[in-house]
Structure 1
């Protein structure tokens, strides 16, 4: 029996790029909140209003600018790679010092952001992005395929 969701040419193939875009957009919105909290004290948190040029201030600037760029999908791959590194450094400097387990040291979101950004850096921003609209990527596999250069479906 054929599965319309997971079989080749099914929904998972047809909508992969749109779902990737949704992952990027939702992740960017959540990440942007960390930047606005640090830089504008909105929403107010323990990390709000760090001293200028401190490690938390630089992280907040990266979260704000990087979150906005990822939200619209502009320069997505290099931005996602930088933010993945920021989250890895943040985890090891801030969270890992409190213990080895992310659930106990408060580092679950840092780990998750790190790997989602790493995935976006390798996979690209998805179809709904400025990068795609500007023609930075070429569709090699037809109107229902992946738009990313280098992705060739085996149909």
Structure 2
């Protein structure tokens, strides 16, 4: 029954990349642009949140577009791993107890994208077809 979905693997890879990029992008827009307004998010500056915002914004846009997906996803996975241990992992190692489920999941999704690539709906795919 589930073999029917196999034909859609490439497209679903693109959907995973696009949605993960959009979700990361909203973290960046909240921190850098103040939209959407998120309670407790400090203004941009030389704080950890202030420095992470621009990275989330840049990584998010590049992932949504599927531009330089493998290196960007690899850097984003590392960024998320560091974020997990610096922000969430200091009090308790278990993500459900330290509020780090989301960033831990992002880390492994981005690691997968670094290995799997962008999928067919991406700037990377268009550039490789032209080459």
Q: Taking structure 1 as the reference length, what is the TM-score of the superposition?
A: 0.78
Moved more, 122-131 or 41-50: 41-50
The answer to whether 1:50 aligns with 2:44 is yes
Are the aligned partners of 1:39 and 1:48 in contact in 2 as well (CA < 8 Å)? no
Counterparts of 2:5 and 2:54, CA distance in 1: 38
Q: Deviations over 1:4-30 (max 9, x none)?
A: x42xxx541x21110000000111111
| Secondary structure of 1:15's aligned partner | helix
Q: Deviations over 1:19-59 (max 9, x none)?
A: 000000111111101000110111122224132x4332221
Q: Which has the higher helix share?
A: 2
CA RMSD of aligned residues (A): 1.8
| 1:9-48 paired onto structure 2 within 5 Å | 10-12=4-6, 14-45=7-38, 46-48=40-42
Any gaps of 5 or more consecutive residues in structure 2? none
| Secondary structure of 1:21's aligned partner | helix
> In structure 2, what is the equivalent of residue 88 of structure 1?
81
Measure how far apart 1:98 and its partner are: 2.3
Counterparts of 2:35 and 2:129, CA distance in 1: 34
> Which aligned segments of 4 or more residues in structure 1 are displaced greater than 4 angstroms?
none
Instruction: Report 1 or 2 for greater relative contact order, CA contacts < 8 Å, sequence distance ≥ 6.
Output: 2
Counterparts of 1:130 and 1:48, CA distance in 2: 33
Residue-pair matches, total:
130
Counterparts of 2:94 and 2:88, CA distance in 1: 9
Measure how far apart 1:136 and its partner are: 6.5
> In structure 1, what is the equivalent of residue 114 of structure 2?
121
Larger Rg: 1
